Amino acid sequence: MIKQYAPTQILQLYSQSSADVQDTAVSERTADRLRNIVLTKHELSLNQLGKTARLLGLVLFGLLHPDELAANFQKELGIEPVQAKALYRDIWETILRPIETSLKRIHGQIKAVEEIEIEAEFKPPVAKIEEIKKEAVAPPPIKPVAVARPAPPPPPIRPVLPKKEEPTPSRAEAYLEPIEEEIKPPVPAPPRPVPPKAEKKYS
């Protein structure tokens, strides 16, 4: 799709252009030559004529390099690369070559028409019916995906209880010798006295 610019932008670029570029952009002579090339010689439509005129305007105002004009003809007008290059040659020789010096000041170096190359549009190869039938086979069976079992949870971490610290003896207690207590056998209890039996009296 051709990029659109606001009328104020085009007017600004037109005012900054040289006199020969301005005359080429708006003269009736340029319009007649362009119609003769597009409609009569190449037998294109009015719609294609309008697109060609817009692309030519982009070249005149420095928005499109002349080397890219043929490729844009092929893309925007929907024509073959050979015809696009022939259209560019006719427009260059009839309209653009007279202002080549001004165009080089705008765009820099410009290739000769013979050096312009257009890459052909890529078209995928058409497969033969026999090849399509060979490829249309049943897909291989889908293997079940092994589900990895989750790893067992780690054992609970038991809290480490702090060891009870034995009381550290003081310096004075460290020099004391241990006292051995003499173990005495238990003393038996004294026997209880037995009271005398009372004597019986006979009468």
Task: Give the single-character DSSP code of 66.
Answer: G
89 found inside a domain? yes
181 found inside a domain? no
103 found inside a domain? yes
Q: Identify the residue with better confidence: 77 or 122.
A: 77
Lowest mean pLDDT among 52-61, 115-124, 138-147, 177-186: 177-186
Position 92 pLDDT exceeds 70: yes
What is the CA 179 to chain-centroid distance, rounded?
A: 87
Task: Label residue 156 by pLDDT band (50, 70, 90).
Answer: confident
In this predicted structure, what is the pLDDT of residue 74? 95
Mean pLDDT of all residues in 101-128: 77
In this predicted structure, what is the pLDDT of residue 129? 42
Full domain range(s) for residue 46? 19-115
53 found inside a domain? yes
- Amino acid identity of residue 69, one-letter, is L
Task: Label residue 134 by pLDDT band (50, 70, 90).
Answer: low
Task: Label residue 70 by pLDDT band (50, 70, 90).
Answer: very high
Structural domain count, the chain: 1
34 found inside a domain? yes
In this predicted structure, what is the pLDDT of residue 185? 62
69 found inside a domain? yes
In this predicted structure, what is the pLDDT of residue 101? 96
How far is 46 from 35, CA to CA, in rounded Å? 9
2 found inside a domain? no
DSSP 130-166: HHHHHH--PPPPPPPPPPPPPPPPPPPPPP-PPPPPP
CB count in 10 Å sphere of residue 86: 18
